[in-house]
Structure 1
Amino acid sequence: MSPTQLPESDVAVAADPSAWKRFRPALLRLHFYAGLFVAPFILIAAVTGLLYAVIPQIDSAVYRHELTVDHVGDRQLPLAAQLAAVRAAHPEGTVTSIRPPAAPDETTQVTLAVDDVPADYARTVFVDPYTGAIRGALTTYGQWLPVRAWFDELHRNLHLGAFGRNYSELAASWSWVIAGVGLMLWIGHNRGQPRRLVVPDVRATGRRRLLSWHGTLGVWILAAVALLAVSGMTWSRFAGENVAQLRTQLSWTSPSVDTALPGQTAGATLDEATALRGADVALQVAHDAHLRTPMWMYPPTTSGQGWQVAERKRDWPTQYDAIVVDPATGTVVSRLDFAAWPLMAKMTDWVIDLHMGVLFGLVNQLALIAVALAMIVGILLGYRMWWRRRPTRGDRFVLPTGQRRGALSALRPYEAVLLVAVLAGVGYFAPLFGLTLALFVAVDVALGWRQRRQAAK
């Protein structure tokens, strides 16, 4: 939701009407200022998120040549032969992971850590598993190919690096607050009319019609906005660190399989030829251990480590079983099944994949597109309502105004302390929220002081 100015006719929704009347001005002013100044960042996040949601199919079509083979053969080459073909064509960097084909017409993907790509990116080489022919090499970001990676970075930081991450953190930190406060105001506005909470008043005209659609859209997408905001904060620059610490303390982090070989300790760094030995053994053992594609293989980096083979099926039903294979003996020395993950670790992964539009495939994408469009429309309606509040008499241009000042003074002392404490707590956990809220208050106080001085003259 974005800036609104609800009519003065709003009445109480609680058992004590005076409590609502005391809190309503503070909530309305918070919703107004946050919507007015933070909504542009939320609007950008919604637009870039919308673009990101429509990209997966385009990405697959653009890179079809690299992802698939021209002809499906009778027998695939050993991984060792495919790796040799990759290193002959691309000797740069080091091999960090291998993705065997998940379907007969797919290529094998070999990821290289190289120095001539941006930070956090890698080079992925695509090889025909039947002929050993190199189908291409692309700069990738995790699993994402270049087109999807470009839109992913646009959504995360507008291609402005670490500084750009502030915009998405600001949007994530404030959107659930704006939506939650907006819901309380909307319930108060429609007391005794529950149908009006979820069904717009098509008979209304003018600003009341705009308000009806603005509030109804907010109710429709409230849960989705909260989920996107909370999950988005896990990637944020400042709040993300607090989220990571909280997850660690509560054991909500995704567990990892131990790659150490029994009776051995990590020793010297392995040269690549030694590290890649046993790739075919590890793949066969993974199949025998009933691991399913898509899966990734990670060679050992030091002596005393085994090959890690891990499922990574992010669409429902998800698969994340992982094993460690001793390449010398062909035995599984460690195993961690997804079923053994803590429930909250699973939930965290599911929520993140839901945010990224991969958990439920096309249905997930369509839902994200619908939510993004609703957010865009809701924000624009909010600004339209704000603009229609501007004075129209006289020749001088005057911006619309918001709710009157002095909202905290309407509260009882303990209520004001409680409200400030809650906002301060949220601000401590989400620093950009706290910083911008303090800035809003400072600007508001300065404007009020200026108006009082002018009135006194």
Structure 2
Amino acid sequence: MAAAASNADAIAHRRTLWRWHFYAGLFVMPLLLVLAITGTIYCFQPQIEPLLYRDRMVVADTHGPQLSRDVLLAKAAASEPRGAVPTLAQIETNRTRSAEFVFRLPSGESESVYVNPYDGAVLGTLSVEHRLMKQVRNLHRGLMLGKTGELLMELAGCWTLVMIGTGIALWWPDQWPDRAKARQGGVWLPRLSLEGRAWWRDLHAVGGIWLAAGALFFVLSGLPWSGSWGKEFKALATSASLGYPKGAWGQAHVHSTAPSAAQQAAKPADEHAMHGMSMKMDDLPLKQTPWAVGATTVPGSADVSTPAARVSIDDIVALASRNGVADDYGIALPNAPTGVYTVSYFPADPRAERTLHIDQYSGRVLSDIGYSGYGRVAKWISYGTSLHMGRYFGLANQIVCSVISLGLATLAVSGFVMWMKRRPARALGAPTRPVRRPPMRVWRGGLALVGVIFPLMGATMLAVWCFDRLAFGAKRTLA
């Protein structure tokens, strides 16, 4: 009797885990395919874009002198429609790359203009919002559905944690470690001699265990960038000095003097929004901003009562170089009397990340934020982000990320095939609920903890539990 009860408990335990794995997979499966494919494509952005837009991004090196960036900006501005405002200068020292400037158009959209740095010829334009890699990134982060899509992708990441945990538990051999069982196959290597659903099961289970660590890393390194939980987590980390420490600006002037009423009335509405006192780094038109500084406030230049000359872009580039920022970074341009130049350096090695805010009139560095000033959490996330994007150790990093991503896509497909092979006609095919309710206190506690850390996840877990009770509460089985 005791043995029978123990066996019934084991069956109930496994079936309960299977049900949670099934529900997690049912939701995550299509989104995981999108994440895997778009993530793989975006990982190779540095190689893809120069090939895709070669006529605009690549120039012949004449080995002659290059025009100043202010002259190049003027030529780019002359090619844009009336009312276009320059917002960003992208800096690269590669002599075979064109100069890139971003403009905010009267329509509200943004456009990159590419200029030959040797003769000043305008090579063409690209819509910032509609270029391929921007679309891929938007799909990856939010299915191009705005806030709704971001929440769905955030939930997909959270439910992937459930899928990983339950998947490992379902894979785990009953008497581990058992070398004899491991040699039989189906534990570390799939049994390719099997056929039908059993073959797909081995592929899914064994592939899943090999990819579990990579999947977990992708989730944990991606969630801090999510639009809902990630934003709140960043604010919390910043306030607790675990992101960018509060009050670490130094002694430099960091706030502008309030402009006069006449100046305020003369400013366009969008400049009020872009250069208000509460403007954050994440609001700037930069291609990428280090996670640690995204929630920090952008300082302002000292307001002047009489017109003053603005420091040139070449001077800002020289200043950035003296401060250790040499190549492949963005300079957000000031578009108001109290605006600043913001240099944002987001390199492959997070230890070199740098953010400089520079007074547009005097060229004085108002704040200098580097990796050494980050809190512990921000340092971890910086490394995680670089690895997640396939940047930290070059092409090898890109290949590893691609293998993991495409492997996860294969798991999604194999899980779908297994479901279709076992699903009855006109039925969901969820594993039936066991008659015996196993205690599983550790698992329930773990799910509750995940629900507390990720409130949106907790709400959906409760919804799934209610749906399961109402729709399938009467359908229980022992096997």
Q: TM-score, normalised by structure 1?
A: 0.78
**Residue aligning to 2:328:** 294
- What do residues 139-165 of structure 1 show as CA deviations (whole Å, max 9, x unaligned)? 225xxx811112112222333333333
1:382 matches 2:370: no
Verify the 8 A CA contact 2:238 2:244 in the aligned structure 1.
no
Query: Residues 189 and 370 (structure 1 numbering): CA distance in 2 closer, same or farther, change over 3 Å?
Result: farther
Verify the 8 A CA contact 1:45 1:155 in the aligned structure 2.
yes
Q: CA deviation at 1:231?
A: 2.8
Q: CA deviation at 1:199?
A: 2.1
User: Which of 77, 87, 90 is residue 99 of structure 1 equivalent to?
Assistant: 90
Amino acid in structure 1 at the alignment position of 2:315:
V
- What do residues 358-399 of structure 1 show as CA deviations (whole Å, max 9, x unaligned)? 3333323322321222122222222333333356xxxxx464
**Residue aligning to 2:399:** 366
Q: CA deviation at 1:30?
A: 1.1
User: Which of 283, 286, 294 is residue 317 of structure 2 equivalent to?
Assistant: 283
**Could you say what the CA RMSD is over the residues aligned between the two structures, in angstroms?**
3.6
- 1:272-351 equivalences under 5 Å are 276-301=310-335, 303=337, 307-313=341-347, 315-316=348-349, 319-326=352-359, 332=365, 334-351=367-384
Q: CA deviation at 1:60?
A: 1.7
**Residue aligning to 1:404:** 432
Amino acid in structure 1 at the alignment position of 2:448:
A
C-alpha distance in 2 between matches for 1:164 and 1:408? 39
Q: CA deviation at 1:246?
A: 3.9
Query: Residues 199 and 434 (structure 1 numbering): CA distance in 2 closer, same or farther, change over 3 Å?
Result: same
Q: CA deviation at 1:219?
A: 1.3
Q: CA deviation at 1:348?
A: 0.9
Partner SS state of residue 308, structure 1: strand
C-alpha distance in 2 between matches for 1:46 and 1:93? 37
- What do residues 73-103 of structure 1 show as CA deviations (whole Å, max 9, x unaligned)? 5212222222222222224332222123321
**Residue aligning to 1:266:** 257
User: Which of 111, 116, 120 is residue 123 of structure 1 equivalent to?
Assistant: 111
**Residue aligning to 2:462:** 438
1:354 matches 2:342: no
Verify the 8 A CA contact 2:250 2:367 in the aligned structure 1.
yes
User: Which of 423, 426, 433 is residue 450 of structure 2 equivalent to?
Assistant: 426
Q: CA deviation at 1:218?
A: 0.7
Partner SS state of residue 100, structure 2: strand
Moved more, 270-279 or 78-87: 270-279
C-alpha distance in 1 between matches for 2:255 and 2:168? 58
Verify the 8 A CA contact 1:285 1:331 in the aligned structure 2.
no
- 1:67-146 equivalences under 5 Å are 67-90=57-80, 91-118=82-109, 122-140=110-128, 146=131
Amino acid in structure 1 at the alignment position of 2:14:
R
Q: CA deviation at 1:115?
A: 4.2
**Residue aligning to 1:26:** 16
Partner SS state of residue 129, structure 1: coil
Gaps of 5+ in 2: 1-5, 272-306
Verify the 8 A CA contact 1:231 1:352 in the aligned structure 2.
yes
Q: CA deviation at 1:105?
A: 1.9
**Residue aligning to 1:150:** 135
Amino acid in structure 2 at the alignment position of 1:404:
T
**Residue aligning to 1:180:** 165
Q: CA deviation at 1:110?
A: 1.7
Query: Residues 323 and 23 (structure 1 numbering): CA distance in 2 closer, same or farther, change over 3 Å?
Result: same
- What do residues 233-280 of structure 1 show as CA deviations (whole Å, max 9, x unaligned)? 234343334433443344343579959964974343798996744333
- What do residues 201-238 of structure 1 show as CA deviations (whole Å, max 9, x unaligned)? 33444443322221111111111111222233234343
Query: Residues 360 and 115 (structure 1 numbering): CA distance in 2 closer, same or farther, change over 3 Å?
Result: farther
Partner SS state of residue 177, structure 1: helix
Partner SS state of residue 103, structure 1: coil
C-alpha distance in 2 between matches for 1:375 and 1:238? 24
**Residue aligning to 1:9:** none
Q: CA deviation at 1:300?
A: 4.0
How many residues in Structure 1 have an aligned counterpart in Structure 2? 422
C-alpha distance in 2 between matches for 1:116 and 1:75? 36
Moved more, 165-174 or 293-302: 293-302
Moved more, 173-182 or 106-115: 106-115
**Residue aligning to 1:171:** 156
- 1:26-65 equivalences under 5 Å are 26-54=16-44, 56-65=46-55
Verify the 8 A CA contact 1:41 1:170 in the aligned structure 2.
no
Amino acid in structure 2 at the alignment position of 1:149:
K
Partner SS state of residue 117, structure 2: coil
Query: Residues 297 and 401 (structure 1 numbering): CA distance in 2 closer, same or farther, change over 3 Å?
Result: closer
**Residue aligning to 1:228:** 218
Partner SS state of residue 159, structure 1: coil
Amino acid in structure 2 at the alignment position of 1:342:
G
Partner SS state of residue 409, structure 1: coil
Verify the 8 A CA contact 1:165 1:236 in the aligned structure 2.
yes
